[in-house]
């Protein structure tokens, strides 16, 4: 029984082994039957990729260029200026007394002779009355001495009185006349002191803030009560360097030419909000000496101020055309590359190849650089695309499209 079961189990194992071998043979035949198809697909792929079109060459880089054209360029300079009125009258009391009244509105426009303050006049009125009384007393005494002289003169000639008595009468008369002159001076002084109780403006202008109040004791040695400034025209003071002054002078052959140029020179005033004052100013005077501490020379200009827009103490930029460069070369700032203190531009030759050239720049003129050295007329310079080119790059040059400048950029200038 056991033997028969063992034989049956042996036959089952043999049959399972046969089935595995048949399955493996079937898989191998299947793979072999697909091999031609796979090889055909690979060959078709290689053929397709092999017949693909070659890549096209990269087109030249498009850049915008400007052509170097010499031109006459006005050079402007600007300085920081301080505005001030002239004259600036410090209003002070000329007599000592108590302030009893303020007669003006602070910040208002006033005229010469307008009443500003009043000091208590009673002590000065009393002093004037006393001086007048003394004058009347001495005039009466003078009348008596005159009569004495008239009376004594004929008596002395007849020797009715001594000559000494006549001389005494004459001298007494002279003394009385001198006393009258002194009294008149005292009356005039008292009158002036009484008038000084009314403090008036000595000039036309704008009155400042009152620095004294009613009831304050004021006097000649005290502080200013207020300030009145004439602000039409308005002065502007600014300082230029000694080098700039010498460069300006060297443009002219003599002092007459220099003075004529200054006479015609117009000054522009740029206010703190960036706006330009609408009325041009004139060169007024140049200080007599250079400041030994700063090496600068003070200049004063005059600006009409009919609407009182300008006020003392304001700061502003003063701009003026100081010279004209003939045959100058200007390039947009974006066309000039700065590298460690040196400047370069990219030029384009007749073969449209880029060459890097070093240049020497001068003043900034609006949105452009003034080129001192390194470029020749009619050269083409890359103005747009300078960061993308290098030596030998072939480019497609296009005309430079310059944007319209702002109003603040129209007038070229340099700062000092």
Average model confidence (pLDDT) across the chain: 84
Examine the domain organization and report whether 130 and 211 are in the same domain: yes
The CATH number of residue 392's host domain is 2.40.420.20
For residues 81 and 131, state if they share a domain: no
Query: What is the chain's alpha carbon radius of gyration, rounded to the nearest angstrom?
Result: 52
| Alpha-carbon dihedral 209, 211, 216, 220, rounded to 10 degrees | -120
Residue 280 and residue 305 in one domain: yes
The gap between the terminal CA atoms of the chain, to the nearest Å, is 126
Tell me the per-residue pLDDT of 234-258, one tens digit each, with 9 for 90 and over: 999 999 999 988 988 888 888 888 8
Position 317 in a domain: yes
Q: Which residue has the higher pLDDT, 296 or 416?
A: 296
pLDDT tops 70 at residue 32: no
Lookup: tokens for 277: 């004052």
Q: Which of 144, 162, 143, 142 is nearest to 152 (CA)?
A: 162
The answer to whether residue 261 sits within a structural domain is yes
Task: Give the domain-ending residue among 188, 208, 228.
Answer: 228
**Same domain, yes or no, for 340 and 398?**
yes
pLDDT tens, position by position, 89-144: 999 999 999 999 999 999 999 999 999 999 999 999 999 999 999 999 999 999 99
Domain boundary among 323, 340, 374: 323
**Would you state the pLDDT for residue 11?**
57
Domains in the chain, number: 3
Contact 413, 78 (CB under 8 A): yes
Q: Is there a domain that residue 308 lies in? A: yes
Asked whether residue 35 is assigned to any structural domain, the reply reads no
Is 53 part of a structural domain of the chain?
Answer: no
- 187 lies in the same domain as 147: yes
Q: Is residue 73 classed as helix, strand or coil in its secondary structure?
A: strand
pLDDT at 50: 47
List, in order, residues 6 or more apart from 143 with CB less than 8 Å away. none
Residue 81: which CATH number? 2.40.30.170
Pair 167, 132 in one domain: yes
Decide which of 21 and 152 is more confident: 152
Query: Do 237 and 357 have their domain in common?
Result: no
Residue 50 lies in a domain: no
The pLDDT assigned to 163 comes to: 87
- Both 212 and 102 in a single domain? yes
Q: What is the per-residue pLDDT across 328-384, written as a single tens digit (0 to 9) for each?
A: 888 998 889 888 888 999 999 989 999 999 999 888 887 888 898 889 899 999 988
Please tell me whether residues 222 and 99 are part of one structural domain. Answer: yes
**CB 396, CB 384: distance < 8 Å:** no
User: Domain holding 99: CATH number?
Assistant: 2.40.50.100
Degrees (nearest 5) of the Cα angle 331, 391, 356? 30
Do 255 and 375 sit in the same domain of this protein? no
What domain range is 411 assigned to?
64-75+325-415
Q: Is residue 44 in some structural domain?
A: no
What secondary structure does DSSP assign to 6-39, as a single string? HHHHHHHHHHHHHHHHHHHHHHHHHHHHHHHHHH
| Spatial separation of the C-alpha atoms in residues 203 and 226, rounded to whole Å | 13
**Rounded-to-integer distance, Cα 64 and Cα 331, Å:** 13
Is the distance from CB of 138 to CB of 177 less than 8 angstroms?
A: no
Chosen domain end from 267, 299, 323: 323
Q: Specify whether 126 is located in the same domain as 159.
A: yes
Question: Is 404's pLDDT higher than 60?
Answer: no
Do 208 and 269 lie in a common domain? no
**Is residue 147 situated within a structural domain?**
yes
């Amino acid at each position: 029984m056991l033997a028969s079961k063992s034989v049956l189990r042996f036959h089952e194992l043999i049959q399972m082994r046969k089935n595995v071998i048949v399955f493996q043979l079937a898989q191998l035949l299947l793979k072999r039957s697909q091999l031609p198809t796979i090889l055909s697909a690979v060959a078709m792929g290689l053929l397709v990729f092999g017949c693909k079109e070659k890549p096209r060459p990269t087109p030249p880089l498009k850049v915008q260029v400007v052509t170097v054209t010499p031109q006459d360029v006005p050079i402007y300079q600007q300085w920081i200026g301080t505005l001030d009125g002239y004259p600036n009258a410090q209003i002070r009391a000329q007599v000592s007394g108590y302030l009893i009244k303020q007669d003006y509105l602070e910040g208002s426009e006033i005229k010469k002779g307008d009443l500003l303050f009043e000091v208590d006049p009673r002590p000065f009125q009393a002093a004037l009355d006393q001086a007048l009384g003394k004058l009347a007393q001495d005039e009466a005494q003078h009348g008596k001495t005159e009569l004495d002289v008239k009376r004594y003169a004929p008596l002395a000639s007849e020797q009715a009185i001594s000559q000494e008595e006549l001389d005494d009468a004459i001298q007494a008369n002279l003394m009385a006349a001198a006393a009258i002159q002194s009294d008149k001076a005292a009356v005039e002084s008292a009158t002036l002191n009484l008038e000084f109780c009314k403090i008036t403006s000595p000039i036309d202008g704008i009155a400042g803030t009152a620095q004294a109040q009613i009831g304050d004791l004021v006097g000649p040695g005290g502080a200013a009560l207020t300030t009145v400034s004439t602000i039409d025209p308005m002065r502007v003071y600014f300082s230029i360097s000694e080098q700039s002054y010498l460069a300006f002078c060297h443009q002219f052959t003599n002092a007459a030419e220099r003075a004529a140029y200054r006479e015609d020179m117009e000054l522009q005033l740029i206010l703190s909000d960036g706006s330009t004052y609408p009325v041009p100013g004139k060169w007024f005077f140049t200080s007599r000496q250079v400041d030994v501490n700063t090496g600068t020379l003070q200049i004063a200009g005059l600006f009409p101020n009919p609407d009182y827009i300008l006020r003392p103490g304001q700061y502003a930029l003063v701009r003026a055309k100081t010279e004209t460069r003939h045959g100058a070369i200007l390039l947009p700032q974006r066309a000039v590359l700065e590298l460690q203190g040196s400047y370069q531009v990219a030029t384009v030759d007749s073969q449209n190849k880029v060459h890097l050239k070093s240049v020497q720049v001068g003043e900034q003129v609006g949105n452009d650089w003034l080129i001192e050295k390194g470029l020749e007329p009619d050269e083409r310079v890359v103005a747009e695309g300078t960061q993308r080119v290098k030596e030998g790059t072939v480019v497609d040059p296009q005309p430079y499209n310059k944007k319209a400048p702002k109003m603040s950029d129209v007038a070229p200038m340099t700062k000092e």
